[in-house]
Amino acid sequence: MIKKSVKILILLVIFLYGVNYNAEANNNNGNTGKAGSKNTSGISDDYRLYQNFPNPFNPATIINYKINQSGFVSLNVYNLVGQVVKTLVSEYKEAGTYSTQFDASELSAGVYLYKLQVNNFTSVKRMTLIK
């Protein structure tokens, strides 16, 4: 039973890392960082999910994110088994920078993941709850 749980945990971490890596690669839109290259569409490719602060935290933390186009925003917190433990945001938002507080007073100490999804952007970060 423990071996199966460990395998599932490893696969989940690999999957979430791959989602975050692909999302960041897609947000570059081929911009190689060479001199003279710039975004000419007039719209910034600046979707961001920032690291929570403080981290580690007890019992509450702040999560900031930035979206460059309006859309349906989903910000969920997951345990390491992949279960949603809290939905922080699930609504349509205009472009801008936002902040939300996560109160984890009812959760046990440990590592949790939070995932932002908006339009075609997805990003995942890790946070640690200490008691």
Q: Tens of pLDDT along 73-108? A: 999 999 999 999 999 999 999 999 999 999 999 999
Domain annotation covers residue 50: yes
Domain count, the chain: 1
Domain annotation covers residue 35: no
Give per-residue pLDDT as tens, 45-69: 689 999 999 999 999 999 999 999 9
CATH assignment of the domain containing 68? 2.60.40.1930
Domain annotation covers residue 37: no
Domain annotation covers residue 117: yes
Neighbours of 80 (CB within 10 A): 16
Do 64 and 50 meet the contact criterion of CB atoms below 8 Å apart? yes
The mean pLDDT of the chain is: 79
**Predicted confidence (pLDDT) at residue 130 exceeds the cutoff of 70:** yes
Q: State the residue range of the domain holding 113.
A: 2-29+46-129
Domain annotation covers residue 17: yes
Do 101 and 54 meet the contact criterion of CB atoms below 8 Å apart? no
- Bridge partner residues of 116 (DSSP): 75, 123
